[in-house]
Chains A and B, each alone.
Chain A
Amino acid sequence: MADFWEKTRDSFAGWRLIGLPFGFGFLLLLTPLLLMVLLSFWTQDYLDLRRDFTLANYREVFTHPVFFTLIKRSLAIALVVTLVTVLLAFPVAYFISFYGGKRKTLLLFLITIPFWTSYLLRIFLWKIILGYNGVINSGLSSLNLIDAPLSFILYNSNAVVLALSHAWAPFAILPIFVSLEKIDRSLLEAGRDLGDSAYRSFFFITLPLAMPGIIAATLIVFIPTIGDYVTPKLVGGTEGLMVANMIQVQFAKANNAPLGASLALVSLCIVMLIALIFLFLNRKYLGRRV
């Protein structure tokens, strides 16, 4: 009985603390999300909302070629950006962790400096590098390497991939660095002493132990990329537009909030599905280590 009361008191003490942040999340995150689900089953009738349950919006999202193309493209761009960012970040994190010596903090600081200005400007500056009169084109033409400015480097999905791989760099490097730092170096020495080649000790010790960091980096990059609005708008042109741009159009110019809501929900489901796959992988890797 005393035990029961003790537990109840503990429960109340816990709720009293967490009540406020929970209430905030419940009212201002969960409720809006549920309302968005509800809205996605309604339809817009010019200025009025028609509140009959219908799947028409979802039918449109999945059958209308424009929406389907945008969703497919967003997914493809997000996967490529994630792959490129993590692949480029790993060697850098590895270098800092294994060869950084006393300069580790300085090197990490060096990597974050370019990110201490506005995110919008960082993306916009890529437009100046890749543009018609941009750094690359004027550089190449002053070297007489090209006659006319290259036009294929800006306003397409490649530009989006480049700008986003740049934008997320520190967010990928830092978690990988942390997981590399946690690796017990004596494991590597033991492996070497027992005759492991450099190749074997990297692929059988370092890489598996760095997996939690790699998976964290993957999620950190993938989730914001698929819903990114700014980069496709600034450097993507028409063939680099992504689903977030269409969602915004539905809420603003097109004035079709229900369709926008269902587009948002479909993208959310894709994000959730992929995040779950990665979390499952992470658990598997962590589970094997214990």
Chain B
Amino acid sequence: MKHSSPIALSVFVVIYLVFLYAPIFLLPIFAFNDSAVIAFPLSGFTLHWFKELWGEDVLFRAATNSLIIAVSTAVLSTCFGVLTARAMARHQFIGKKPIFGLIMAPLFLPEIIIGVSMLIVLLQLGLALSLWTVIIGHTLIATPFSVSILATAFNNMDRSLEEASLDLGETRIGTFRRVILPLVAPGLISSLLIGFIISLDEFVIAFFLTGTDPTLPVYIWSLLRFPSKLPIVMALGFLLLVLSLILLSLFEAARRRSERLTGG
């Protein structure tokens, strides 16, 4: 079926893309604009805001916190995802449906509900807010995504490969390491990546559950209140965009390479 696209539809898609790119287009404009006020007309090119960004000590602490939280979240949610996906794919047990429902529930809960309910418990128990409380909150919301990704990986796996390995005398651990793990590896990587991204950009839960140590979004939020800091925020946003695009391209290149090596 070969179609030339209808003109009205093509025009709509172009306008929609302009709408999608409109805000992001402003990031580089104001990141390099030589004025402390974020407004038109523009006044000239500068790298001043990037220099000032470099001097923000809190930024580095916030970025480190965010990285620690994002890596922990990615690892935890992927572990939970593997356990859940494997149990769901291979075993029949009592309470299967409600247990699965509870693990997937955060998908259907607004983040503020999770943040608030955890805050209540922590305050009642008199526990201090720390990076750990944020990691717990983020793991709760990232796990359902890991489960969905890994469920596909485990369901698509040919069971007989595993049985063959066990029949041929490989131990359970050896089978897991040499047969199952390589087969679900793409799913594992996607799961780690999605957990990492969800955590890195999450604001509301972090806002409720951070103590004195801010995460990157909480830090950005605090900057947004000061008009004088806005050009720095623009510079930071631009850097984040460029950084994630570079990472994404590297990931895509690696994926294509492994596809070529394994013959697709």
Binding site for B on A (CB under 8 A): 7, 10-15, 17-18, 20-22, 24-26, 28-33, 35-36, 39, 88, 91-92, 94-95, 98-99, 110-111, 113-114, 116-122, 124-126, 128-129, 131, 133-135, 138-139, 142, 166, 169, 185, 188-189, 219, 223-224, 226-230, 234, 244, 247-248, 251, 257, 260-261, 264, 267-268, 271-272, 275
Contact = CB atoms under 8 A, between A and B. Distances in A.
Nearest to A279: B108
B203 A21 contact: no
Given A111-B20, A135-B40, A99 B3 contact: yes
B198 to A, nearest CB: 11
Given A91-B9, A114-B20, A166-B20, A125 B118 contact: no
B27 A118 contact: no
Contacts of A131: 39
B103 A223 contact: no
Contacts of A229: 112, 204, 207
A122 B240 CA distance: 12
Nearest to B93: A14
B92 A10 contact: yes
Contact of B110 (A7, A95, A244, A251): A244
A257 B121 contact: no
A230 B120 contact: no
A22 B237 contact: no
Contacts, number: 228
For chain B, which range describes its interface: under 10, 10 to 19, 20 to 34, or 35 or more residues? 35 or more
Given A133-B40, A135-B40, A261-B120, A17 B91 contact: yes
Residues of A contacting B: mostly: helix
Contacts of A25: 102-103, 105, 140, 143
Interface stretch (B48-56, B81-89, B155-163, B177-185): B81-89
Interface of B: 1, 3, 5, 9-10, 12-13, 16-17, 19-24, 26-27, 30, 37-41, 79-81, 83-84, 86-88, 90-94, 96, 99-100, 102-103, 105-114, 116-121, 123-124, 136, 139-140, 143, 201, 203-204, 207-208, 216-217, 220-221, 224, 233, 237-238, 240-241, 244-245, 248
Contacts of B121: 31-32, 35
